[in-house]
Structures are given as structure tokens and as C-alpha cells.
Structure 1
Amino acid sequence: MEIVEAVVIAGAGIAGLATALALKGVGVLALVLERSYGLRATGAALTLFPNAWLALDALYVSHKPTSKTNPMMGSVTNVRTGLIQDISLSGTEWLNAVPRSVHRKVLLETLANELPKDTIRFSSKLATIESQAQEAGSPIAIIHLEDKTVIKAKVLIGCDEVHAVVAHWLGIAPAVHSGRSAVRGFSVFPQGHGMQEVQQFVDLGKRVG
């Protein structure tokens, strides 16, 4: 089967869905390819800072995740010196201009629900990509999926991962380890946890909380 699309986005994660929604806002419809059979909604909570909320506001969806979040307040303790600094991250100038935690699933579903039906094509794993020259204009991308589907796209946007097929096709160098690592978890409290404060403990090169 062969499909012709103007714009194809590889990856239905936060970046891919946000890109598709931004293009929709200017009248450009894109096909989003996702290798999984559904939205990969697993994962921990994300702390979104003001710049992220401004981006969601530009997509006209910032008010939806905030209905399930609260502004963050708490303290930071320096374990080396014992000093404690209170932090208040509840702004008043603009409702969303404060850091808030959002579950990844809520954010993904919020973005996906704003897209037209059939925008996301699930179970679509990229196999190879090649460029095809045109008599007039720029080359187009020929995308081969593992199910033998061939998609011709004027524009291909990679929003999957640095080790993915799109990155390899573009010749992007492998990611370099920055020397930093993080461990995160997510807990579910069906009846609510009642905790209103965030506590962080910092030391030289370390942060917990």
C-alpha cells in the first residue's frame, strides 16, 4: 500500500503530538506515526515550568491539565550546611505561570484529544527512509514501514528518539552522556495524599525530592 502525505511526524509522544497540534493551528494537517499499538501513556509525573505552560497556552490546551494539578510550595534543605529555604511557586499574575506537576498520561491524552480523528496511525514502525529526487522542487521522503506500507511525504519531522530511524537518516550523531542521571517514581493515592508541600534536599552535585 502506498500513501501520499504532505507532512509526516514520527512519534506520538509529547513532542510529536504538540507539533501536530501546532501545525493544525496554522491549517496544516499532519500524519503522526506511532510504533506502539496505542498512546505510550506510562511514566511518572512531569514538573512543567512556566515556559512549558506558555507553550501549552499557545496550543490552547493549558487550561485542561491544570484542572488536575496544584501549584507547588515547599522548601529546599542544604544537607551540608543545614540551611532551609522556603519556596513559594504559586504565582498570581497568570494561573499557569508557575511550576506544576502533571502525569504524562494526562498530558498525552489532552494533546491527542485535540487532534482530528485518524491523525495518529498506531502500530506503524519505521523500517527505512530514503530520499527521492523530484524534477521540480525539493526531494521527498519515502518512508517504508515494517508492515510494507510506503508513505511519500513532502516533509518528515522526527519526534521519536535520538537513536531512531529518522535521526539515522538525517545523519545526526549519537547522543553523548552528560554525566547526569535521575531516578523518578510515581505513586497513586486513590483517596488523595493530602500533601501540599514539596521538599528537596541538595548537596554538591546531588538533589533529592
Structure 2
Amino acid sequence: MLHPLLIRAPAATHSNIIKERYMEESHDIVIVGGGICGLATALALFSKGIASLVLEKWETLSAEGGSIGVHGNGWRVLEQLGIAEELRETANLVTVFHDVWQEEKKSTLTPVGKELRWLKRKDLIETMAKNIPAGAIRLGCHIAAIHPSDPGAVLSTPGGRVIRAKVLIGCDGSNSVVAKYIGMSAARSTPHTFLRGFTRYPHGHPFGDHFLRLRVNKRCFVGRSPITDTLVSFFVAFHIPSAGVTRDVRATRLSLEAFAMGTLLRTKSLATKLACLAILALLGTKSLGHANYDCGRL
């Protein structure tokens, strides 16, 4: 299990993370959001000699999550950011796509054309954060409102602090306060559910450098790829058709659980059974968990 990155900034010491402590301040460039996008933007600016301030609403940088497949173009970006070599030390090279179509009972092996490695999100976040200059990331800084200014924008926090930015960059995810400020439409949900996780093999796994892509059926896709000699990443993607894509998350979880259980009971394919068991394990093991759902109005 991955634990969140926690970097505290003691008073009167150098650190790349500080707590907000000014009632009013001004910066040339402010980046809202301290995820992969926000940290990469700050690091790219720093590599060009341009200072910026990253504002993250949570008290820690979230390093939880699964793995990220980084292909050739991604590695070129990481090289430009100056962190590619460090990250290459954390992940093995994947050289073969192993595609399997369960229903058609066929499979192929295709060489990977360019560099492909699967990185743990934790490694990516921590590596970017530690290469950003001292004082450039501020934790626990929730932006409550944004107002136009000349030049730039004025950001305010619930505690009354004011941050003036000549340039404002939004990297704050699907519920972006910056997107709302500039009038972008709300993010839309899709009828797809993704489950990601890791499996550890203390004595080494038998999968070599192959990235398995298993098409169970039209609704289910399973992926498995090595990260290191003892760590394997996997994901399960489900398409759950529904009348509306804004269905309650709890109802979607219940639908996925029911679909996986039904498929497990009727399938004769060992690979499909394993995929369903992985889904049910990730969703939880409470046998009466479905009774606790208040699905609301669907």
C-alpha cells in the first residue's frame, strides 16, 4: 500500500514546501494544484529560470495511486525536466505487447517500438517535488474565490489571505476552481470504471518484460505489466452502460460488483475468473456491503 508523501516545513529552515502565512502577497506566476500536472509545470518553468508558486489545498502532496505507463514522448518530457534518469532507476523496461482476445481465442506478441516503463505515481510525485526549489510549493492553501485584476487575478482563501498573480495556471483537477473562474463547462462523467493496483512477488515474478493486454469481452479490459523484478502493476477497465453518465458513484460501484459477481459465476474462463476476483477484492470483502448503499435517485 502506498502512503501519502508527507514533507513538513519547520520554521526558519529551507524546504520546498511552506505553510501559507502571509495575509497578502504577489507573485508573477501562481499554479493552483499540486498534482502531477501542477508539479510538472512548476518544474518546467524552473528549468527555464522562471519562478512560480504552487498552491495545494491538502496538507500533503498526494502520492497515493496506481502506476502510470510512460511511453517515448513522455520520457522525452521527463528528460527535459531533468528527472528521467532518476525515474528510470525505479522501473524496468517493457519490450513486448502481449495482446489476448479472450472471446476470439487468439493472441499476438508485438515488440514495443519506443521506450515504455510503468512508474509508480508515488515515485513520480516525490521526484518532481524534491527537484522544485525551496518555498515553491505551499500546502494547506485552499482557494475559495478568484477575481479578475489588472494584470492577472486575485485569489483568496477561506482564512482571508489574498494572493495576487500576474499569470494564473489551473492544474486543480476535475473540480477546478480556475476552470470555473474562466467559464469552462463542468467536467463530465463517463460510463467507464477503472481499478488499479499492485501485486508484489518477493521472490520475483514470471512475466518477464511483457505488457499483457487482455480483452475479456466488449465490456472488460485487463492490463498487467511489470514495474520491477518483484512488483507488478495491473488494472481492470469496465464499460458500464447506463441511461445517464452522471449516475451516483455508489450505484456505479454496486453495478460493477454485481456485474463482476455474475460474470464470475457463469464464465468458464480461468482468466476471466481471475479478473473478476481481482475486481471484487478491490471493491471490498463485506458480503452485505450492498445493503448499506443509499443509491438515491438514479
TM range (shorter): 0.7 to 0.9
**Structure 2 residue aligned with 1:128:** 145
**Structure 1 residue aligned with 2:66:** 44
**Structure 2 residue aligned with 1:101:** 118
Deviation, 1:13, is 0.7
Which deviates more, 194-203 or 48-57?
194-203
**RMSD, matched Cα:** 1.8
Distance 2:205 2:178 in 1: 42
Deviation, 1:75, is 1.4
**Structure 2 residue aligned with 1:87:** 110
**Structure 2 residue aligned with 1:148:** 160
Question: Structure 2: where are the runs of 5+ without partners?
Answer: 1-22, 224-298
With CA pairs under 8 Å and 6+ residues apart, which has the higher RCO, 1 or 2?
1
**Structure 2 residue aligned with 1:94:** none
- The 1:57–1:208 alpha-carbon spacing in structure 2 relative to 1, beyond 3 Å, is same
Deviations 1:119-144 (A, max 9, x none): 10001011100012x3xxxx321000
Distance 2:162 2:203 in 1: 49
**Structure 1 residue aligned with 2:212:** 199
Aligned 8 A contact 1:35 1:126 in 2: yes
**Structure 2 residue aligned with 1:208:** 222
Deviation, 1:176, is 2.4
Deviation, 1:180, is 3.2
Distance 1:194 1:118 in 2: 44
Aligned 8 A contact 1:161 1:167 in 2: no
5 Å matches for 1:11-50? 11-50=33-72
Aligned 8 A contact 1:9 1:157 in 2: yes
Q: How many residues get paired? A: 198
Structure 1 counterpart of 2:73, one-letter code: N
Deviations 1:45-69 (A, max 9, x none): 1111222111111212111111011
Structure 1 counterpart of 2:102, one-letter code: V
- The 1:191–1:117 alpha-carbon spacing in structure 2 relative to 1, beyond 3 Å, is farther
Distance 1:108 1:189 in 2: 24
Distance 1:3 1:189 in 2: 50
Deviation, 1:198, is 2.9
Aligned identity (percent) is: 33
Deviations 1:178-209 (A, max 9, x none): 44332212334556545423322114353212
**Structure 1 residue aligned with 2:294:** none
5 Å matches for 1:68-79? 68-72=90-94, 73-79=96-102
Distance 1:129 1:186 in 2: 39
Distance 1:52 1:192 in 2: 27
Q: By percentage of residues, which structure has more helix?
A: 2
Matched, 1:176 2:193: no
Work out which of the residue numbers 133, 137, 144 in structure 2 matches 1:116.
Answer: 133
Distance 1:189 1:82 in 2: 28
Bigger Rg, which one: 2
TM-score (norm 1): 0.87
Structure 1 counterpart of 2:145, one-letter code: T
**Structure 1 residue aligned with 2:261:** none
SS in 2 for 1:20: helix
**Structure 1 residue aligned with 2:12:** none
SS in 1 for 2:110: strand
Aligned 8 A contact 1:124 1:146 in 2: no
TM-score (norm 2): 0.62
Work out which of the residue numbers 155, 162, 176 in structure 2 matches 1:164.
Answer: 176
